Structure 1
Amino acid sequence: MSFGFVAFHYPAPEHLEEFIGHCHEVAEASRAQPGFLSVGVWVTPDGEAVVTTGAFESEEAFRAAAEVGREMGATPDGLSDLEVKPRQVHFLVSR
């Protein structure tokens, strides 16, 4: 059973490109983690939200990769200095 997430982030317009760049850095680090399956960085057409997605072989693999993300300043909850409102994170389990 795979474990994944989809997260909606709301960066301030003046920080959109910086935020997207940081998301790509975290995505690249995720690719090197054991149990990695996929990652994506998307932007809504209006530019108001950045949507990140990821899938791992297990919840344990995701948690280990998330720790690497935390070390890079990315957290699945809370609000970064670049965001104007808290992100929305949904965890997923394949069935």
Structure 2
Amino acid sequence: MFTHANGDHTHGGQLLPGSACLITAEGTAHEMRTEMAAELTAALQVMDLGPTLTPYLRDRFGRFDFGGIRPRTPHRTFERRLSGGSAPVGAPVPDPPPSTIKERIMKVAMVAHHYPHAAHRAEFIARVHQVAEVFRGTPGCLSADCWESADAVVSIVQWASEEASAASFAAVTSAGLDLAFDERESRPREIVRLAAC
């Protein structure tokens, strides 16, 4: 049973026998299906993503080896409470087809560092959250999050495809949200696009 979707728990699933029945809560299963591909997590260990995010990611992920990870999705899920069912632990259950797993893993991501002037910081953060909400509402956007540090606002977005990324940006434009760099920011944004090979 996977208790939550962090890679230090789920990536070990490939070491379990093929006959092992993988069980998790539905919310955890969703996170497992949409988590960042292991190859992209490995890339984050060595990329320069700015003065705030680079040390944070190296501290959190530097000890892990993400090479050769083959994600496995759960065979059985539950909502709120686990009850009996037709797949007891230890029962032989095949893994889902690889195509099912592949379609649910992030293929494209963006990490953006924004540097708003102090006078515009609250307004800027509210705008980033609005954009993230529109992104999350578009098909194929797997996640859109925002972090704050002393000098930067960092947004990370993950999509299932380039087409999903383009659709998210089109939705933001249609919603009338402003993405343009202007005098409210103290220096140019640092934007890194990532794509799975």
TM class by smaller structure: 0.7 to 0.9
TM-score scaled by length of structure 1: 0.86
Which residue of 2 is the match for residue 55 of structure 1? 158
Q: What is the alpha-carbon distance in structure 1 between the residues aligned to residue 118 and residue 187 of structure 2?
A: 12
Q: Higher helix share goes to which structure?
A: 2
Which residue of 1 is the match for residue 194 of structure 2? 92
- From 119, 127, 149, the equivalent of 1:14 is 119
Q: What is the alpha-carbon distance in structure 1 between the residues aligned to residue 183 and residue 189 of structure 2?
A: 12
Paired residue total: 90
- Residue 93 of structure 1: how far off its partner (Å): 1.4
Task: For residue 30 of structure 1, give the secondary structure of its aligned residue in structure 2.
Answer: helix
Taking only the aligned residue pairs, the percentage that are identical comes to: 36
- From 157, 160, 168, the equivalent of 1:65 is 168
- Residue 63 of structure 1: how far off its partner (Å): 1.2
Give a deviation string over 1:6-58, Cα, whole Å, max 9, x none.
000010011111100000001111111010101110111x2x11000000100
Runs of 4+ in 1 over 4 A off after TM superposition: none
TM-score scaled by length of structure 2: 0.43
Q: What is the alpha-carbon distance in structure 1 between the residues aligned to residue 113 and residue 184 of structure 2?
A: 14
Work out which structure has the larger RCO, using CA pairs closer than 8 Å and 6 or more positions apart in sequence. Answer: 1
Q: Higher strand share goes to which structure?
A: 1
Unaligned runs of 5+ in 2: 1-105
Alignment of 1:64-83 (within 5 A): 64-70=167-173, 71-75=176-180, 79-83=181-185
- Residue 85 of structure 1: how far off its partner (Å): 1.1
- Residue 67 of structure 1: how far off its partner (Å): 2.0
